[in-house]
Amino acid sequence: MPNKNYTILLIPEGSHKVRRYMIGRKWLYSVAATLSLVLLLGGFLSLDYFRTNVDRSELKRLRVQNQLQHNELREFANRLEDVRKEMVILAQNDAKMRALAQISHPSGTPENIQVGIGGPLESAPASDMTNLQQQIDQIRASIDLRRESQEEVRGFLTEQSSLLASKPSGLPSRGWLTSNFGMRNSPFTGKRTMHEGIDIAARVGTPVYATAAGIVSRAQIENGYGKLIVIDHGYGYKTYYGHNSKLVVKVGQRVKRGDLIAASGNTGTSTGPHVHYEVRLNGVPLNPRKFI
């Protein structure tokens, strides 16, 4: 049967006395187990201490990061409020523009969306993401309405500008008025006839200008009118310039108000050098003096 005891000999340096210790195997195993347990417990405590320090550092970092995010969110909320105030000003300006232009609100404006939004937060704090998202959605909707409104106003103003440029204005040539619009005694037959324009006496060769923007639809010799220029201005407006001595534009040419189109003359049925000028709307002669 194997020995269950161990002998430990200690021989001090410089001494001849030997010390002998007898250790039982069970006791040795108990000591080894105890030491292992102590080491294991020490390792666990060290690991737990290390983890605790790491968690504390991470918690501190997260707190700092959370505070930074909170500050950024509050700053974002303040900027969002500034944007809302600017949107209110834009809405007011848009309403003024529409009132001046006599344009109603966009027909597609939903009833549950306010044209102008603004004011401080009423319930949720600036850090409430849900509240901020609702504000962002409102501002986006308002921006869409502003864009739609501005496009409509811009289109209206462009149309009005085009109409203004296309509406006859002023006289086509320098001279003096010799015959008005309306019924008159014909200088050729003596009978009462309708004079569908006005006559402006001028020397032969006097420049004749377009009274509005448009496209030359006729540039030719016609009975009665002599050398005639007709300009189609759109929107139903046309102007006639008759009895010219020279035509300087061609059919299809685009002209602007004030462009030279002819030189006055005495062609066609005429008693002397002058410009016969007509304004027609949808084919109906109008008094040109209303457009001077």
Categorize the per-residue pLDDT at 59 as very low, low, confident or very high, splitting at 50, 70 and 90: confident
Terminal-residue alpha carbon distance, the chain: 140
Instruction: Give per-residue pLDDT as tens, 121-154.
Output: 444 444 466 777 777 777 778 777 877 887 888 7
CATH fold, domain 176-291, is Glucose Permease (Domain IIA) (2.70.70)
Which two tokens mark 41?
């417990």
Instruction: Give per-residue pLDDT as tens, 195-232.
Output: 999 999 999 999 999 999 999 999 999 999 999 999 99
CA dist., res. 180 & res. 183, Å (int): 9
Cα maximum dimension of the chain? 170
CB count within 10 Å of CB 200 equals: 22
Provide the residue type at 252 as one letter.
G
Instruction: Give per-residue pLDDT as tens, 247-270.
Output: 999 999 999 999 999 999 999 999
Mean pLDDT of 91-99: 78
Listed in sequence order, the residues at least 6 apart from 264 whose beta carbon sits closer than 8 Å to its beta carbon are 173, 175, 200, 202, 203, 204, 205, 206, 207, 208, 243, 244, 245, 273, 274, 275
What pLDDT, on a 0 to 100 scale, did the predictor assign at position 110? 42
Q: What is the pTM of this model?
A: 0.57
Domain boundaries, given as residue ranges, for the chain: 5-65, 74-166, 176-291
> Which is higher by pLDDT, 264 or 58?
264
Which residues are 236's β-sheet partners?
none
> Which is higher by pLDDT, 256 or 102?
256
H, E, C per residue of 144-162: HHHHHHHHHHHHHHHHHHH
